[in-house]
Each structure stands twice: as structure tokens, then as C-alpha cells.
Amino acid sequence: MVASGWVRRVAGPYGGGVRVVMTADTHVPVRARDLPAVLWSAVEAADVVVHAGDWVDEALLDALSERAARLVGVFGNNDGPRLRARLPEVARVELGGLRVAVVHETGPAAGRERRCAARFPGCDVLVFGHSHIPWDSVAPGGLRLLNPGSPTDRRRQPSATFLTAEVVGGELTGVELHAVSR
């Protein structure tokens, strides 16, 4: 698992792009018994899986750790002491030259970009969760904020979701929001 502070660089196979899956607010087994099959397929095809908290149960952390080539995760507000002992509140990783931070909560939508830019200087991308609502914006100074929504609990959204992207030459490309049907 990833600890706070910058960690080892990750490059794609043979120096190519880094395929990334982003998810959060899985709430397994409370909201669903397991992750959707389409997300598991994406996990197995990815170079890196980012989970922005609210796992709820250690079994999912163990399963993702086994099936992901590389896992970067943080704990969320619904994660108990055992998950908090295994995961940091904030994770930072460099993916193909892109500096990525991961955190569960960022506070209210109003003022989010300004707050996050101040809290995560030197980062290119911030992946966060908590709201179950997909988010993609850019803060002054260039920090890109991404929330993949939830693959298991759509709340007020038309569908459950997760994100995929690729890092090529230090740039985040091909960001795609995937709707999950059950």
C-alpha cells in the first residue's frame, strides 16, 4: 500500500502510457456484495488502480491488492480502524511524470478548486471521493480535480460510475467516465 509522501515512479509497459482506473465510495459489502464485473475487467487491464476511500471492508482492499498491478488507496470517513491502520489519509504518487494526490474528502463543492489548489501545491491531479458525484474541473494554477463517483451507489446520479484514463508524457489523456449497469 502507499504511504503519505511521494512514492516510486510508475511507467507504462515498455515506456508507453500508464493506464489508470479511478474509483471511490465502493462501500462493499454494504451497498453491493462485490464490484461490478466491468470494473473488475478494467482493474485487471490497468497499470494502476486509484481508490479514493470508503471501502468499508478489508476484504475489498485485499481483493483489489491481489488483482491490481499497482494499487494506490486512501481511507474514507466510512472506513474503520482496521482500514485506517492500513491506508493513509492522503496518498501521493508519480505516474509517468504526472504528480497525483488522492484524498477522500475535499469539503463542499463551492470553493473546492481554490481550497484544493492551496492544499495540494505541486500536484497535477487530485483524485477524491465522498460525494458519489462525478467531478472534473481545473483549479487556478492547473490542478485537475477528478471524482469518479461510485460504482455501487449512484445516489442522485443517473448511474453508478468509475473513471479510466491514460498518462502519456506526463499528461493525463483520455479521461473517460464509465456508467455501470447492474
Q: What is the mean pLDDT of the chain?
A: 91
* CATH class for the region spanning 18-159: alpha beta
User: How would you class 115 by CB atoms within 10 Å of its CB: exposed for 0-12, middle for 13-18, buried for 19 or more?
Assistant: middle
Q: What angle do CA 136, 42, 160 make, to 5 degrees?
A: 50
Q: How many CB atoms lie within 10 A of CB 118?
A: 11
What is the separation of C-alpha 57 from the centre of its chain, rounded to a whole number of angstroms? 17
Query: In the chain, what are the domain boundaries?
Result: 18-159
Q: Which residues, in sequence order, are CB contacts of 37 under 8 Å at separation 6+?
A: none
What is the separation of C-alpha 47 from the centre of its chain, rounded to a whole number of angstroms? 13
Which candidate, 172, 92, 105, 107, places its Cα nearest to that of 138? Answer: 172
pLDDT above 80 for 1 = no
Q: What is the pLDDT of residues 3-51, one digit of tens each?
A: 334 344 455 544 569 999 999 999 998 888 999 999 999 999 999 999 9
Q: Residue 42's pLDDT is what?
A: 97
Q: Residue 15's pLDDT is what?
A: 52
Q: What is the pLDDT of residues 52-89, one digit of tens each?
A: 999 999 999 999 999 999 999 999 999 999 999 999 99
Q: pLDDT category, 156, cuts 50, 70, 90?
A: confident
pLDDT above 70 for 125 = yes
Q: Which residues, in sequence order, are CB contacts of 149 under 8 Å at separation 6+?
A: 24, 25, 132, 133, 134, 157, 160, 161, 162, 163, 177
Q: Determine the Cα–Cα distance for residues 155 and 141; give it in Å rounded to an integer.
A: 31
Q: State mean pLDDT over 87-114.
A: 97
